[in-house]
């Protein structure tokens, strides 16, 4: 399983990029709104840092024609922009059009397996099931990942599953075990993945022993 970062914050993206594990970036309108900057300017900044990996940028239009127009403008910003399209009938039409023009797509707001299957059949590059938001309403987000992975495998669909709406490290481990190709993680969760108290204690002990021996 690969790692994307789920943020529109350029400093977070720069730090994550230096770790050597970053395979892409996902943004959404809420994340961009939090930044208080122009969407296009921010996408230019992000794609100048993450040059050769997918950067998802979401369309706001709700009709296929509007999505296609908006998506083409976003795709013109950089060759590694992936157009994020909501899982609707209009969204599926737009995915089909993008896919026939070689523009990569990420179908977002996926909450059941049929939505994922439809998106894959329309030609989506990625589908994003939202784990955390399903868990929030008492549904099993992780089971959805497993079901989609099994369906894609059985029917030889090469659409990649992005485990999205990740809330904590256990989501990441479980997404990897249940067949997600990618987890898109918020910056705080990325930091949590690195940390273990025994690692910190171990470093302190090694340093203390080294100092004692060299006094």
Query: Contact residues for ligand E4P (CB under 6 A)?
Result: 6, 26, 28, 108, 128, 130, 132-133, 164-165, 184
In the complex, what is the shortest distance from the CB of residue 30 to ligand E4P, in angstroms, rounded to a whole number?
Answer: 6
Closer CB to ligand E4P, 73 or 136, in the complex: 136
In the complex, what is the shortest distance from the CB of residue 132 to ligand E4P, in angstroms, rounded to a whole number?
Answer: 5
φ and ψ of 154, to 5 deg: -65, -35
Angle at 110 between CA 106 and CA 114, to 5 degrees: 110
> Given 72, 84, 96, 205, which residue is catalytic?
84
- Token code pair at residue 106: 């990420």
Closer CB to ligand E4P, 108 or 160, in the complex: 108
In the complex, what is the shortest distance from the CB of residue 171 to ligand E4P, in angstroms, rounded to a whole number?
Answer: 10
Closer CB to ligand E4P, 30 or 214, in the complex: 30
Closer CB to ligand E4P, 86 or 204, in the complex: 86
In the complex, what is the shortest distance from the CB of residue 131 to ligand E4P, in angstroms, rounded to a whole number?
Answer: 8
84 given a catalytic annotation: yes
Instruction: Give CA torsion, residues 77, 68, 121, 6, to 10 deg.
Output: 40
Cβ–Cβ < 8 Å for 113, 121: no
> Whole-angstrom Cα distance, residue 3 to residue 6?
10
- Token code pair at residue 146: 């497993």
User: Residue 77's Cα: distance from chain center in Å?
Assistant: 19
Active site residues: 84
């Amino acid at each position: 399983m690969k790692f994307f970062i789920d943020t529109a914050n350029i400093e977070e993206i720069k730090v994550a990029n230096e770790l050597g594990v970053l395979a892409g970036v996902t943004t959404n309108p809420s994340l961009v709104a939090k930044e208080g900057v122009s969407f296009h300017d921010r996408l230019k900044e992000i794609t100048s840092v993450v040059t050769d990996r997918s950067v998802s940028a979401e369309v706001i239009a709700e009709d296929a024609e509007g999505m296609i127009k908006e998506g083409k403008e976003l795709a013109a910003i950089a060759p590694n922009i992936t157009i994020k399209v909501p899982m609707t009938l209009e969204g599926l039409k737009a995915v089909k059009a993008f896919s026939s023009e070689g523009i990569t797509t990420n179908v977002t707001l996926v909450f059941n397996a049929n939505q994922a299957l439809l998106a894959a059949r329309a030609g989506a590059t990625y589908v994003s099931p939202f784990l955390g938001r399903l868990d929030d309403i008492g549904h099993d987000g992780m089971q959805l990942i497993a079901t989609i992975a099994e369906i894609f495998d059985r029917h030889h669909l090469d659409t990649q599953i992005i485990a999205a709406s990740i809330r904590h490290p256990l989501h990441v481990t479980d997404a990897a075990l249940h067949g997600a190709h990618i987890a898109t993680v918020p910056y705080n969760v990325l930091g949590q993945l690195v940390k273990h108290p025994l690692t910190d204690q171990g470093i302190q002990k090694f340093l203390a022993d080294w100092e004692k021996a060299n006094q």
